[in-house]
Structure 1
Amino acid sequence: MPASVSLFRLSYSTPDRDPVFTDLDLGFGCERTGIVGRNGAGKSTLLRLIAGDLAPSSGQVHIKGSVAMMRQDAVDRPEATVADLFGLRAALERVARAEAGQADADLLADTDWTAPARIEAALQRCGLSVAPLTPLAALSGGQRTRAALASVIMAEPDFLLLDEPTNNLDRAGREAVAELLRGWARGAIVASHDRTLLAEMDAIVELSALGAARYGGSLSDFRLRKKTEREAAQRDLAHAEKTRDAAARRAQDAQERKNRKDGAGHRARAKGGQSKIQFDFAKGRAEASDSAGARLRDARRDAADAALSEAREKIEIMQPLRMDIAPTGLPEGKTVLRLDRLTGGYDPHHPVIRDLSLTVTGPERIAIAGPNGSGKTTLLGLITGQLAPMRGRVEVSVPFALLDQHVGMLAPERTLSGNFRHLNPAADARMAHAALARFGFRAADARRRAAGLSGGERLRAGLACALGATPPPMLLILDEPTNHLDLDSLAALEAALAAYDGAVLIVSHDDAFVRSVAPDRVIELPSRPAA
């Protein structure tokens, strides 16, 4: 019997009873399905429900076959090793004891001699060459992601469940994940915003406030269908507005006719042309007719108002996000940044940045590239003053803002409005609310605490706080800004950066995002051998 995952009227609410999604009916077969949706739509929650990590509030999850989920939070213990991800650390220790001649007959009988080779093969399949007993703390974020992925695929499950599998991976790591999925002959359910990865999918499922919608084909097919749906929703809204206006006009016309008729009746009564009995009878019949007509008109008007409200709500949900950045006024010839034979890093004996010179003039856009470990984030730390140079000089000549994927500029306990005013002391409450609204945080959203935001919302809030002031900083430094952004937020950020007239310094492994920024130069940092 073919493997499948079926969801029947599935609902889930947070411990605070906030609904995440309601009455989902979905089915997954032997294909690669991408799960997309705005941050907070429930993508990770859906995967955890399928994996059995969470229990649904109502509804059922039916699974035929086996599932295995790769978790981004695989490292929980400081002493954990790569073998712990596979659940085979004890097996490796038994093999080591047996090979050292320290095993009795019972231990030899329980020894899994194939464990080391199976782990090695899975790691190599994901492009990672490390010893199984290597501490996870000694690996980079990208290496840990590859190791976690290898631990999942080794079991050859019927369904791979992958939650943002390319986060923290460099270009080679992202390609390794894409290559793995290209050759995966079983089912895969992948929650991701990585557009290159989503292009490999056989189907896309979008989670939104409207529920779950399934689209056959890859990301390009999904985008085409979404564009068509938005255009249809705009037509529905225009029709609903026209219908509501027509209902209002009919009600107004009927009221004016009634007023004219009532006036004529009163004038006729005043002239004495009718007896009281005749007048009262005619009046009662007219009032009954008017009442029935009014009820019909009210019903039509209420239906038109309800249809209009529904059309507006749908447009609000489907409408792309916008981030509006004010002009910086950066002159073309202004020196923005100068690095003179810069050397630095965290190990004084092995500096990762060596003798780097660079000058940024005017609204230049520069991408810093290189594999994991080449020192890209270290370089940004030297430029922003978070790290002191060992040798050389850094001169930043204009106001700048740094946004990393964790958005450390936001104080978790403060509201968004409070964070904005803390980072922009000259702003009052009105200015803070207006700036936040330009980045999609409207009305009560400004009172939300930063600690309660999703990763994508944090970055959007950080952009609002950094770039919402007038004038915004003339230099924007972005360190892996897309790691936690959903597709809508990513498109909004790209559109905002396209209109930004300041200088941009960007570190990102997202090739599509880097191309959208259209860098004037790419500074390639060489890989560094291990110390």
Structure 2
Amino acid sequence: MPASITLSKISWATPDGRPLFSGLDLSFGAERIGLVGRNGVGKTTLLKLVSGDAKPHSGTVSVGGSLGILRQNVQVAFHETIADLFGVAGALTVLRRAETGDATADELASADWTLEARIAVALNRTGLDAQPETPLAELSGGQRTRAGLAALVFTEPDFLLLDEPTNNLDRDGREAVIALLSGWRAGAIIVSHDRELLESMDAIVELTSLGATRYGGNWSHYRQRKALELAAAEHDLADAEKRMAEVARKAQATVERQAQRDSTGRKMAAKGGIPRIMLGGMKERSETTGGDNARLAERRRTQALDEAKAAREKIEILQPLSVTLPPTGLAAGKIVLRVDRMTSGYRPGDPVIGDLSFDVTGPERIAVTGRNGSGKTTLLSLITGEIKPWAGTIAVMTDFAMLDQKVSLLDPLASIRDNFRRINPLSDENTCRAALARFMFRADAALQTVSTLSGGQLLRAGLACVLGATPPPLLILDEPTNHLDIDSISAVEAGLSAYDGALIVVSHDETFLESIGITRRLELAGGDPAG
């Protein structure tokens, strides 16, 4: 029987009672599905419902086949190795005993002589050059993600459940994972905002507050369909608003005609000549007609309002975010940053960055690239003054703002609004609220405490606080798209495209870098364990 996953009439709400799903129906077969939607709409929750880590409040989840689950962060215990992650540490020990001649007869009989070759194939499919005995603690976060995915592929599950599998991966890692999934012929449900990865999908399922919609084809096909849907929704809203105006006009005309008839009847009655019994009948018919007309007008008005409301809700879902930024006034010839023969690192005699020199002049847009561990984060720490160079000099010659992945410039115990006012002390309340609204923190949403925000909301809040009022002439971003949903990424791209200051960006997201108009690349080749 073919492997399948079916969700039927699923309802689920957050612990504070906010409904995420109501009567949700979805089914998956041997296909690669990209699961997309705005942050907080329930993508990770849906994976948890499928895996059994969460239970629906109502409805059923039916899974026919085996699951391989990769969560956003691969947790490791001290002394665990890649073999432990694969679940083959014991079998590998038997092989090692056999190699040294220490294995028993029973161990030799049960030994899996193809094990190491199959492990190597799985690791190779994710582009990870490592041995089964390699401690997981020695791997970077991105390398652990690749090892975790290799362990899943090794078990050959019927379905892969992957939550942001390319987050924190360097370019080589992203390409390896995309290649692996492009050739995957079993089932896969992949939560991702990586548009390059989504181009290899068989279908896209979008979650919104209105439910789930399936789109056959890859990311580009999905965006084309969405553009058509937005145009249709805008047309429907225009029609609904016209109907509302027409209903109001007709209702007013009916009231005026009835008033005219009533006035004519009163004048005739005043002149006499109409029997009293007929006057009573005319009055009763007038009242009945007036009541019928009022009820009919109210039904039509209610229907038109409902149609307009539905059209507006659909546009709210379909309309991409837009971000506009005030100018920084950065002059084209101004030296923003100067690095002269700089060397630095963490352990004496083992430099991460050696004899590096470069300038940033005017509104340049520089992408800092390199493999995981090449020193990208170290360079940003040097620019911001968090660490000092061993030799050479580094000088930042203008105001700047740095957004790291933890968005540490925000006070976690304060609200988004209060953080904005602290970072932008010259901004008034109206400027604050307008800026936060552009980044989807409207009304009470701006009063959320920072510590309660999701990863995507946190970075969005940081961007709103830094970019919303008067942006600094130099903006430094460390993997800004890692926790943003695709709509938010598009909004940030639009905002940064309009930004007239200098940008230094660490990112492995090539689509993002192309969209913001990178003008130069700084390729690092060091060995920074923190980079």
TM-score scaled by structure 1?
A: 0.95
Amino acid across the alignment from 1:518: G
Amino acid in structure 1 at the alignment position of 2:467: L
Letter in 2 for 1:251: A
**Deviation sequence 1:348-386 (CA, Å, 0-9, x none):** 321111111111111111111211111111101100111
1:512: Cα distance to partner? 1.1
8 Å CA contact 1:68–1:161 kept in 2: the answer is yes
Task: Specify the alignment match of 2:506 in structure 1.
Answer: 507
The 5-angstrom pairing of residues 109-120 of structure 1 reads 112=112, 114-120=114-120
1:39 aligns with 2:42: no
**Partners in 2 of 1:33 and 1:272 — Cα distance?**
81
Cα distance change on mapping 1:433 and 1:80 into 2, 3 Å: farther
For the Cα contact (< 8 Å) 2:34–2:205, is it kept in 1?
A: yes
SS of the aligned residue for 2:155 comes to coil
The answer to whether the 8 A contact 2:374-2:528 is kept is no
Which deviates more from structure 2 when the two are superposed, residues 489-498 or residues 78-87? 78-87
Specify the alignment match of 1:170 in structure 2: 170
Partner of residue 337, structure 1: 337
Partner of 1:352, secondary structure, is strand
Q: AA paired with 2:284? A: G
* Partner residue in 2 for 1:458: 458
SS at match of 1:33: strand
Give distance in 1, aligned partners of 2:82 and 2:409.
Answer: 33
Unaligned 5+ residue runs, structure 1? none
- What are the within-5 Å matches in structure 2 for residues 427-506 of structure 1? 427-469=427-469, 471-506=470-505
1:323 aligns to what SS in structure 2? coil
**Cα distance change, pair 107–425 in 1 and its aligned pair in 2 (3 A):** farther
Query: Quick one: structure 1 residues 78 and 422, their matched pair in 2 at CA, closer, same or farther if it must change by over 3 Å?
Result: farther
Matching residue of 1:321: 321
Shift of the alpha carbon at 1:5? 1.4
Q: Which moved more, 1:85-94 or 1:379-388?
A: 85-94
Q: How does 1:2-13 map to 2 (within 5 A)?
A: 2-13=2-13
Residue 516 in 1 paired to residue 515 in 2? yes
Within 2, Cα distance between the matches of 1:417 and 1:111? Answer: 62
1:89 is displaced (CA, Å) by 2.8
Aligned residue in 2 for 1:299: 299
Structure 1 letter corresponding to 2:387: L
Query: Which amino acid is the alignment partner of residue 64 of structure 1?
Result: G
Contact 2:76 2:136 in 1 (8 A): no
* TM-align CA RMSD: 2.0
Query: What SS does structure 1 have at the residue aligned with 2:386?
Result: coil
Alpha-carbon deviation of 1:18?
A: 2.2
Cα shift at 1:164: 0.9
Deviations 1:217-267 (A, max 9, x none): 111111111111111100110011001111111111122223333333333
Paired amino acid for 1:503: A
Q: Deviations over 1:128-162 (max 9, x none)?
A: 12222322221112111110100100011111111
TM normalised by structure 2 equals: 0.95
1:376-415: CA deviation from partner (whole Å, max 9, x where unpaired): 1110110011111111222112211111233222222222
Letter in structure 1 aligned against 2:41 = A
Conserved 8 A contact 2:352-2:528: no
Report the alpha carbon displacement of residue 273 of structure 1 after superposing the two structures with TM: 4.1
Distance 1:79 1:266 in 2: 98
1:354 is the counterpart of 2:354: yes
Structure 1 residues 75-100: Cα deviation after superposition (integer angstroms, max 9, x where no partner): 14344322222122343344445555
Q: Which deviations, in whole Å up to 9, do the C-alpha atoms of 1:464-488 show, x marking residues without a partner?
A: 001112x211111111111112111
1:114 shift after superposition: 4.5
Does the CA-based 8 Å contact 2:374-2:525 persist in structure 1?
A: yes
1:156 aligns with 2:156: yes
Letter matched to residue 504 of structure 2: L
CA distance in 2, matches of 1:46, 1:109: 44
1:222 aligns with 2:222: yes
Paired amino acid for 2:285: R
Aligned to 1:262: 262
CA distance in 2, matches of 1:520, 1:434: 31
Q: State how far apart, in whole Å, the 2-side matches of 1:133 and 1:12 are.
A: 42
Q: Give the alignment of 1:276-295 within 5 angstroms.
A: 276-295=276-295
Cα separation, 2, equivalents of 1:12 and 1:96: 49
Structure 1 residue 432 displacement after superposition? 2.1
Q: How far is the alpha carbon of 1:304 from its aligned partner?
A: 0.7
- State the distance in 2 between where 1:150 and 1:321 align: 36
**CA drift at 1:182:** 2.1
Distance 1:14 1:114 in 2: 46
1:200-222: CA deviation from partner (whole Å, max 9, x where unpaired): 11111111111111111111111
Q: Which amino acid aligns with 1:197?
A: L
Q: Which runs of structure 2 are paired with 1:170-209 in the superposition (5 Å)?
A: 170-209=170-209
| Residue ranges of structure 2 left out of the alignment (5+ in a row) | none
CA distance in 1, matches of 2:279, 2:146: 90
AA aligned to 1:231 is A
Match of 2:122 in 1: 122
Q: Kindly tell me: are residues 17 and 96 of structure 1, through their superposed partners in 2, closer, same or farther at Cα, counting changes over 3 Å? A: farther
Q: Give the secondary-structure state (helix, strand or coil) at the position aligned to 1:356.
A: strand
Q: What is the match of residue 396 of structure 1?
A: 396
Instruction: Give aligned-pair identity as a percent.
Output: 56
Amino acid at match of 1:242: K
Q: Is the 8 A contact 1:198 1:218 kept in 2?
A: yes
What amino acid is aligned across from residue 240 of structure 1 in structure 2? A
Label 1:79 to 1:56 Cα distance change in 2 as closer, same or farther (>3 A): farther
Give the CA deviation at 1:73.
Answer: 2.4
- How far apart in 2 are the matches of 1:54 and 1:107? 40
Could you tell me how far apart the structure 2 residues matched to 1:410 and 1:400 are? 15
Q: Distance in 1 between matches of 2:312 and 2:523?
A: 47
AA paired with 1:187? G
Q: Displacement of 1:199 after TM fit?
A: 0.7
The Cα of 1:332 is off from its aligned counterpart by 1.6
Report SS of the residue matched to 1:346: strand
Question: Which amino acid is the alignment partner of residue 499 of structure 2?
Answer: Y
